[in-house]
Structure 1
């Protein structure tokens, strides 16, 4: 397309889920409730881990960071959607769209790497229990977290900077409730070949490598558990990674389902509805999975509530 038909676009239109006015209060109430549950649940997990010295271990260190990443991940999309519904507008500025993509990729990628690191932590705990405290020392845990942050930061920064080189035409509508990277690239008038190559390469590396690490860790874990003679020992060993395995299955299952739906039904609100599973529902359910299946977390939460009631009564 000729440069004369291009312009410095200042805003995009987020079509969201529905244009029917009678559905807007319902959508606002549902997503506000889900966001508050997500924020409160993950915040309680963080506070419980910080205040209970028994939970100052590598596993809970990574869990607290996962909860923080989930809060930030959800906060990149839902508050803007709620504001648009409340203000009866669908506009998002070009700068805000790029910023949203940056933080969405940052905290979404951080979720991927933290789940991988947590799988490695469980692998060391079950397969090398005698060397666990030596391998998973505080310095090494800090380096794993730092490496995860740096890798996702470089990825999100690269995609965001490459979006700035694209030119867009007028009348830009995104069939989603947030600025999804692939949909924004498709709206560009300029050549997107380089953006597509980087997108597919980064998705392959940052998607396949963590998943491969998780699968390898659990292959070794299952192999070690099967060698345990007693059924009680097998159950105890498996229970230490049951919550993480549930979260991993839900995270990758809903994420893969959302992207497959997006690929099969392009430019449709159906893909936006499918993406709600991994952008909103999964971060909301994570605290429940860890609190309901973990005795230490339940005790820490009970202690936290008791302290809060004592302060309130005093």
Structure 2
């Protein structure tokens, strides 16, 4: 009887478990949904909350940034130590420093040695450049001196002078105008006739004036041009030549001065006067003839 009851009990529990399993299998979707909605799975599973993961990630990022900043600061300190020149240290300090940072000290010494070597090289290059500039200057100065020495003979040739005879006037003891020749030393050029007439138009020198020489050519008279054709010198002169306040003798004297001065040259036998490029028949109000070439024979008294 007891065995029979035991068998029935086992059968009952087996049937009950199968019933429960069948119900669970049938309602497994509903049971899973209930577990998800009630977060009951967290009871059976040991998982870190999402918030803690995020906080942990933020802390890790901050730690990484701190390490980057420290690395950058160390790099800056290393570069500053390379450029700075350290003051002299006492033997004890030097020994301590060598014990602590012997490798770093060696690097700094190498860096200083390179900088000093570079500075010395730059100074040497500057001295060489200065020496070269001075050498070029000296060479240029010597060249200029040599060129000036070469040009000196040319200047001397240009300054070569020649004696010219020009005619002035004097008033003799009887009060008459007398024609007189004076010698003038002028620089030699390719236009000796022009130089002689230009010198005549300047009037007597201070020394000549002391000796009583005068010029009756109006002081504002200017020589415009001279051209020699077949022995005739065409003297083109400014309009001021027409106005002489001393009368007919003065007009006669001013013409004589130019004609006699021009005829001292072998290429000139007579002078044709032009006033501002135009030929005129008479000079001044006194009516002295200038319409044809005048020679020294035109003034024989």
- TM-score normalized by the length of structure 1: 0.19
Considering fraction of residues, name the structure with more strand.
Answer: 2
Larger radius of gyration: 2
- TM-score normalized by the length of structure 2: 0.19
- Could you say which structure has the greater relative contact order, defined with CA pairs below 8 angstroms and 6 or more residues apart? 1
Considering fraction of residues, name the structure with more helix.
Answer: 1
